[in-house]
Amino acid sequence: MMNAFVKKDRKYGGSYEKIPIPEPSDGEVLIKIKSTAICGTDIHIYAWNAWAQANIKKVPLIMGHEFVGEVVETGPGCRLLKVNDVVSGETHIPCGQCYQCRNGTPHICFNLELPGVHRNGSFAEYMTYPEACLVKLPPSIPVEYGALMEPLGVGVSAVENAQVSGGNVVVIGSGPIGLGIISTAQAMGAGTITALDISEYRLGLASKCGACYTINPSKTDPAAFIGEKTRKVGADVIFDASGNPAAIAGAFKYLRKGGSVHLLGLPSAPTSIDLAPDVIFKEATIHGYHGRKMFQTWTRMIALLESKKIDLDPMISHRMPLSEAERAFEMLEKGEDASKILLVPGD
């Protein structure tokens, strides 16, 4: 038997339960989870909001999808991994059959399956997972960083595509996703990086990750600030990691002509953009991102982490036993000072 944090019923909350250790089926390995991080998606599922009610088909469900662990058993047909390998998980499990999968974009497969959403996740002592979606980590990377590579990768994928080298970059939202963007933009040679957030605590983390300027849009007008810093030219590259519709629409006002906007944050409502002045006459490029390129982004991340060009320590605010998951959710729901909370199974 093992301990796991489970969504038992179709209602608010989660519970710490004893359940049987799963067995790996064809192509799967059994992983002993070393560390697992809480993400916004888990908060939606915990809170049982409208998104969770529509998307969670099966309960009871072990929550969690950001993890690092050690392979303790290989199931039938496994060829890539061995017992004792330390692995991080790519959470987009593609079908391998659809148009997207067969045309080089499995990370946006039509039939994506996600742990902690569609199948049992990582808030547990053990988890089974397809070996094809695991990435073996070299010993030079701190093990707990493996639990943060999934969220880091969203930013790495975006920053690599955005070509930030030498540019004036703005990152809206300095949560874990925004911090990953800031660190990566700095590692990939951005000129200036301006971080925005309405939380002073998170702006402090943005500075630690390499932001040159931090602004709180509830106190300082971002358009006036960026205009002054860029001699009225505007920002070359803007990333949104807030999901705030007004902040996204506002970003186009301080984007320079010919610049690009990269959208990662998930607005909960439709967002309106003034297309003629803000996109068409600006010749602006808008790009959306879902997850990480499989597995180019992971190759980049390993290089960035091994070479210590990215330091994930500022992103980790707490390490707590898995048995205290409820307290961790309470902190995040109340908006207490926190960034990534790592849950560690096994008391």
Ligand X SMILES: NC(=O)c1ccc[n+]([C@@H]2O[C@H](COP(=O)([O-])OP(=O)(O)OC[C@H]3O[C@@H](n4cnc5c(N)ncnc54)[C@H](O)[C@@H]3O)[C@@H](O)[C@H]2O)c1
When asked if residue 289 is in the footprint of ligand X (CB under 6 A), the reply is yes
Min dist. Cβ of residue 65 to Zn ion (A)? 6
When asked if residue 172 is in the footprint of ligand X (CB under 6 A), the reply is yes
3-state secondary structure the chain: CEEEEEECCCCCCCEEEEECCCCCCCCEEEEEEEEEECCHHHHHHHHCCHHHHHHCCCCCEECCCEEEEEEEEECCCCCCCCCCCEEEECCCECCCCCHHHHCCCHHHCCCCECECCCECCCCECEEEEEHHHEEECCCCCCHHHHHHHHHHHHHHHHHHHHCCECCEEEEECCCHHHHHHHHHHHHCCECEEEEECCCHHHHHHHHHHCCCEEECCCCCCHHHHHHHHCCCCCEEEEEECCCCHHHHHHHCCCEEEEEEEEECCCCCCCCCCCHHHHHHCCCCEEEECCCCCCCHHHHHHHHHHHCCCCCCHHHEEEEEEHHHHHHHHHHHHHCCCCCEEEEECCC
| Interface stretch with ligand X, choices 45-53, 116-124, 172-180, 275-283 (CB under 6 A) | 172-180
Site string for Zn ion, 22-41 (x = CB under 5 A): -----------------x--
H-helix or E-strand spanning residue 105: none
**In this complex, which beta carbon is closest to ligand X, that of residue 290 or of residue 309?**
290
Whether 92 is a known active-site residue: answer: no
Of ligand X, Zn ion, none, which one sits near residue 196, judging by CB under 5 to 8 A according to partner kind? ligand X
Min dist. Cβ of residue 344 to Zn ion (A)? 18
Site string for ligand X, 183-222 (x = CB under 6 A): -------------xxxx--x--------------x-----
Of ligand X, Zn ion, none, which one sits near residue 265, judging by CB under 5 to 8 A according to partner kind? ligand X
Half-sphere exposure in the Cβ direction for 119 (13 Å, CA): 12
**In this complex, which beta carbon is closest to ligand X, that of residue 35 or of residue 242?**
242
When asked if residue 114 is in the footprint of Zn ion (CB under 5 A), the reply is no
When asked if residue 116 is in the footprint of ligand X (CB under 6 A), the reply is no
Q: Which of residues 293-332 bind ligand X (CB under 6 A)?
A: none
| Interface stretch with ligand X, choices 66-74, 139-147, 286-294, 312-320 (CB under 6 A) | 286-294
Query: Of 63, 78, 109, 251, which lies in the binding site for Zn ion, with binding defined by CB under 5 A?
Result: 109
When asked if residue 94 is in the footprint of Zn ion (CB under 5 A), the reply is yes
Strand partners, 269: none
Whether 44 is a known active-site residue: answer: yes
Site string for Zn ion, 38-77 (x = CB under 5 A): -x--------------------------------------
Q: How many helices (H) and strands (E) does the chain have?
A: 11, 16
Binding residues for Zn ion (CB under 5 A): 39, 94-95, 98, 101, 109
Binding residues for ligand X (CB under 6 A): 39-40, 151, 154, 172-178, 196-199, 202, 217, 241-244, 247, 264-266, 289-291
Q: Which residues are known to be catalytic?
A: 41, 44
